[in-house]
Amino acid sequence: MTVMQHIWIVLGVLFVLLNIAAGLIWVERRMLALWQDRLGPNRAGPFGILIVLADTLKLFFKEDWIPPFADKWIFITAPAIVVGTVLLSFVIIPFAPNIVVADLNIGLLFFLAMSSLAVYSIVLGGWASNNKYALLGGMRGASQMIAYEVFMGLSLMGVVMLTGSFKLSDIVAAQKDMWFCIKQPVGLVVFFIAGIAETHRLPFDIPESESELVAGYHSEYSGMKFGMFFIGEYLGITLISAMTTTIFFGGWLGPFLPPWLWFFIKTFAFIMFFILLRASLPRPRYDQLMEYGWKLLLPLVLLNLLITGAIALWIRG
């Protein structure tokens, strides 16, 4: 691959991702409306698709207000961290056989490292706002994300054992005969649940739960800084969907259609699932979430690791 090609891939991935993240605003509203028997946005443009443009314009022209009681520099940096870390995670995802920014041999670990750095955006945003609701949201976010990071990492280790590599293209290649969603069903379920908690999407949007904490960690944010949190959330959904596709559903593998299209279709199916979850499930309480994680998911995932390791050893002789 020449340098020029590489640069084109980087720019292309960035362009597609930012457009998907913006487009998801419209997709989510329309789908929510469909599932909740409402109309949804239908005024601006065909099927209301120009709502994306209107929303972005609105965010850009809002007053960008930094509260005088806030810690200014941390307040400004916090929204950038979430977008930065999530975009960096996309570096390791193989979209098609040759379309990958950097196929690192520690790819999966890099993803985990970036998702563990994303916690800072919530924690610092909540702390720097100097507001009790924001602080509560930030604290909930910190404990939720630290807890679910553990299960997320452990749930992927079964796949790593079966593949013998952290490299994502190797993991995709190992699924030629059978997808890992059949060999590692427990890993898949735990990974997806942990993914929802990591992106703090509904039903696990406890850090921002608007009915009790106003808007949680981003109560004080406005304008494009709030927009960054917003875009970061949609990028996070796309990231978890793309990772689920790559690790458990064979990535680009599939008959007839070109590889990138298969990847796109599978990823989009998971994004739809994320939105369906939001449309249908109520939010658990904070202590229920913690109990669920440590008392159910952790033993489950450890058991999964033990059994996978035993079987892998037995097969290899």
Partner 1 sequence: MPVLFYISSAIAIIATIMVITRYEPIHALLYLVVSFMAVSMIFLSVGAPFVAVLEVILYAGAIIVLFIFVVMMLNLGSVTAVQEKQWLKPKVWVGPSVLTLLLLVELIILLFRGSNTDMSMPPVEVKRVSLTLYREYIIAVELAGFLLMAGVVGAAHIGKHTKKHLHRFLQEEKPTIADLPDNRSEIPIEKDKKELAEPVV
By C-alpha distance, which of 243, 220, 232 is closest to 171? 243
Q: Tell me, residue by residue from 267 to 286, as one string, x for binding to partner 1 by CB under 8 A and - for no binding.
A: -------------------x
214 contributes a contact to partner 1 by CB under 8 A: no
DSSP secondary structure, 147-181, as one string:
HHHHHHHHHHHHHHHHHT---HHHHHHTTSSS-HH
Question: Which residue in the set 88, 109, 189, 298 belongs to the binding site for partner 1 (CB under 8 A)?
Answer: 109
Distance CA 136, CA 123 (A): 10
User: Encoding tokens for residue 238?
Assistant: 């796309």
Amino acid at 8: W
**Rounded alpha-carbon distances, angstroms, from residue 39 to 36, 55, 64, 108, 281:** 9, 18, 32, 41, 20
| 55/220 with CB nearer partner 1 | 220
Segment 133-162, which members bind partner 1 (CB under 8 A)? 135, 138-139, 142-143, 145-147, 149, 153
User: Encoding tokens for residue 152?
Assistant: 């997320």
Distance CA 211, CA 228 (A): 22
226 contributes a contact to partner 1 by CB under 8 A: no
Segment 110-129, which members bind partner 1 (CB under 8 A)? 110, 112-113, 116-117, 119-120, 123-124, 126-127
105 contributes a contact to partner 1 by CB under 8 A: yes
86 contributes a contact to partner 1 by CB under 8 A: no
| 207/250 with CB nearer partner 1 | 207
What is the nearest approach in angstroms of partner 1 to the Cβ of residue 233?
19
| 31/118 with CB nearer partner 1 | 118
Distance CA 292, CA 207 (A): 17
Burial class (CB in 10 A: 0-12, 13-18, 19+), 92: buried
Residue numbers at the binding site for partner 1 (CB under 8 A): 71, 74, 104-106, 109-110, 112-113, 116-117, 119-120, 123-124, 126-127, 135, 138-139, 142-143, 145-147, 149, 153, 286-287, 290
